[in-house]
Amino acid sequence: MRAVLLEHFSRYPAMEPRDGVKLVYQSAFGPGHLIRDRDVALAFLRRELEGVLPGEGPLYEPIGGGYARLHLAAAKARSMGAEDIFFRFLAAAQAPAPGMDCFQEGLSLLETLAARGEAPFSAAALGAYLAEYREAGCPMVSHSDAYRRRYRPAYRVCLAPEADEEKRLFRELLHR
C-alpha cells in the first residue's frame, strides 16, 4: 500500500487528508457500499459517462487491496460501454473486501507518511482530519473540493485487472 500511496501523492499533489482517507477506504472496502439498486447505479453510470469527454491516460489505476480505479474518460476513449464498466464495478462489489484491519493499517500508513513529510499534506492537518473522521465513525467520504476542481475524478472502483477473481466474477455475472 505504501507504493500505491506514494504514487498517488506524486500524481495528485493537490490531495488533502480526506483524499488520502478515501483512497485507503476504497482499497479496504471496495465499491460494495455504492450499489443498493443495480438499475439506479447503472443509470447513474450512463449519465456520468455521457458527461465525460474521452481522454488519454491509463484505463486502470491501482489503489491497493486488489482494486483499481477504472477511469471513465479513458474507458470512453477506448469505446467501452457503460454495461462493460458496470459489470466490472459489480464484480468488485461482490468480491470479498480486505476489510477493517486493512483500513486501519492504511490509516496508520497515511499517518507515518505524513509524519515523514512524504504526503502532500502535513501530519498536523491529517491528525486534525482523522480526529474528526474517527469521531464520526469512519464513514465513506467524497473527494475534497480542491481534488475535484483540479482533477475532475470520474471513475469506478473495480478489481485490479490482473486479479483472477475479477475474471471469475465477471464470467459469473455474464451468465446470470
Q: What are the tens digits of pLDDT across the range 50-62?
A: 999 999 989 999 9
Start-to-end Cα distance in the chain: 34
Is residue 48 within 8 A of residue 54, CB to CB? The reply is: no
What percentage of the chain reaches a pLDDT higher than 90? 82
> Could you report the per-residue pLDDT of 129-167, keeping only the tens digit for each?
999 999 999 999 999 999 999 999 999 999 998 755 545
> Could you report the per-residue pLDDT of 13-50, keeping only the tens digit for each?
999 999 999 999 999 999 966 677 889 999 999 999 99
Residue range 90-110: mean pLDDT, rounded: 94
What's the pTM value of the predicted model, to 2 decimals? Answer: 0.89
Is residue 116 within 8 A of residue 94, CB to CB? The reply is: no
| β-pair type (60-64, 67-71) | antiparallel
What percentage of the chain reaches a pLDDT higher than 70? 90
Whether 63 shows a pLDDT value over 90: the answer reads yes
Q: Is 140 exposed, middle or buried (0-12, 13-18, 19+ CB in 10 A)?
A: exposed
> 62 pairs with which residues across the strands?
68
Rounded (to 5) percent helix, strand, coil in the chain: 60, 10, 30
